[in-house]
Amino acid sequence: MVVNKILKKYKLLRSFEVDLNVEKEAFIKELKNFTENGYYTPFLIMLDVFKSENKMYIGNIKSNSFKIRERFKIDNSWQNNFATVKAEFYEENDKLKIKTIIQGMEFFPFILRALIFVIYLVIMFLLVIELLIPPIDFEIEIAFLLPPLMLTIFVGFLTYLPYRIAKNNIVNKKDDLDLIFQGIEKRLTTKN
C-alpha cells in the first residue's frame, strides 16, 4: 500500500514478526490481563482518564488479531507513547507466529503536518525574496526578522517535534513489545 510505503520511508511505521512457544488461547488470555477493551482513535485519547480499570493498554483483542495502544496518563503526558500496535497471529508447527505493525503517526496527521511545512517553506521563500529585493532606503531591523523567527519556532513545534516524538515512540514501543512477548512466553512456559 502506498500509504504504508510513505510512512515506512519516514520511519513512522515498523513491521516485524515474532515466533512464540505458546498456545494461541493462552496468549490471548495473557494479553487481555493488561489490555482494557475499547479502542478509539488518538483524537479521543484523553477519554482514557475516565476508564475505570488501571490496565497498561487499551485495545481490541480478537481470536486472530489485536489492535492496542498505550493508555494516556495525565501525570506524565509528555512521556506518553501514542504508537498504535496492530498484529495478526496464527499457530504453525506448535508455535504462535505474530506479525506486528507499529504505527507512530496516522497518515492524515502526517500529511497535514507535511502541508503545514510546505506552506511554511513557501512563506519563508517569499520573505527571503522580499529581503533580497529591498527598497532604496532599506535598513534591516529586528522587526523584519522577528516574524520569520516566531513562525519557524511555531512550525517546529507543530510539525518537527511531533514527528521526532512519533519516531522515538516506535523504537520504544518495539522494545516494550519485545519485553511483553518474552514475559508472556516465560510465564506460560513456566506454568506448564
Domain residues of the chain, as ranges?
Answer: 2-107+160-191
Q: What's the confidence (pLDDT) of residue 116? A: 92
Query: Pseudo-torsion of CA 103, 106, 112, 116, nearest 10°?
Result: -30
Radius of gyration of the chain, Cα coordinates, nearest whole angstrom: 23
Whole-number pLDDT of residue 108: 87
Contact 174, 16 (CB under 8 A): yes
Render pLDDT for 16-28 as a digit per residue (tens, 0 to 9): 999 999 999 999 9
Residues of the chain with pLDDT under 70: 39-44, 46-53, 75-80, 134-144, 191-192
Q: What is the pLDDT of residue 16?
A: 94
DSSP the chain: -HHHHHHHHTT-EEEEEEEESS-HHHHHHHHHHTEEE----GGGGGGGGG-SS--SEEEEE-SSEEEEEEPP-STTGGG----EEEEEEEEETTEEEEEEEEESS-HHHHHHHHHHHHHHHHHHHHHHHHHHS--TT----HHHHHHHHHHHHHHIIIIIHHHHHHHHHHHHHHHHHHHHHHHHHHHHHHH-
- Return the residue matching grid coordinates 510546505: 118
What CATH number has the domain spanning 2-107+160-191? Answer: 3.30.310.80
**22 with 188: CB under 8 angstroms?**
yes
